[in-house]
Chains A and B, each alone.
Chain A
């Protein structure tokens, strides 16, 4: 018998049921969160590390979570923050390199065993990497996952209007990228 979100949150706050409840949480959300992270970092090993950190953070932060937001929103927020932190650290480490971090990411992607895209898909990934990180997030979540603007508003703490504008500009930039590279 599957639990409702309220029941699950209630069990997460009961010491005797917490572990079992949390197992349900990562079985339910791991794939969604993994792909959300992977779209940003591109490489499987990096996505795996960030996903683990996400769930560890969630586990340690359970006592502070009282169900004010949806469980999925809360988890997405943690995953997003972990991803952005990872990318920021990666940029810092790359500070002295003559190559942009985005160029390095594309080179790594081409060499990655777990990339199976065609030329058009690789081009789309290159185009997405030209976007600023927050805009990349908006584009990925809207284009690939079709998350509603209202859900995005909760996850990214940005107004629906700003998100719509961001997505619209992202699409325009990507279209222009395809035109220029043809």
Chain B
């Protein structure tokens, strides 16, 4: 079995079982040269330093605006939170009792 296996792989060898049309590689060269000479190179887009500065400045402005809005919202939430906290500590019945006491004192 081993001999048969080795013989089979040896028969396959390392030669590629493929060929190409006649003059393929010469023609390929000509084809590529013709193709590339008709195709302009894509111009490299150069970004000038002032564009980097402008982009950075705009980025900072936008970020500042975003941060400012976040801070404002946080402040409101905090204020709301504080008020909610205070109200949560007060029992409704206590408020009513205070009101009734105050009313009775004044009357």
Interface, chain A (partner B; CB < 8 A): 15, 18-19, 22-23, 26-27, 30-31, 34-35, 38-39, 42, 44, 48, 51-52, 55-56, 59-60, 63, 114-125, 143-144, 174-175, 178-179, 182
Task: Report the minimum CB–CB distance from B19 to chain A (whole Å).
Answer: 5
| Assembly CA distance A123 to B42 (angstroms) | 45
Q: Is the CB of B37 within 8 A of A19?
A: yes
* B21 located at the interface, meaning its Cβ lies under 8 Å from any Cβ of chain A in the complex: yes
Residues of A within 8 A of B25 (CB): 30-31, 34
| Assembly CA distance A85 to B44 (angstroms) | 26
Contact with A along B34-47 (1 / 0, CB 8 A): 01110101101000
Residues of B within 8 A of A121 (CB): 11-13, 15, 17
- Beyond A19-B36, A34-B25, list 10 extra A-B contacts (CB 8 Å): A15-B41, A48-B24, A48-B28, A52-B32, A55-B32, A116-B17, A118-B17, A123-B8, A124-B12, A175-B5
B31 to A, closest residue via Cβ: A52
Interface residues of B in 13-68 (CB under 8 A from A): 13-21, 24-25, 28-29, 31-33, 35-37, 39, 41-42, 44
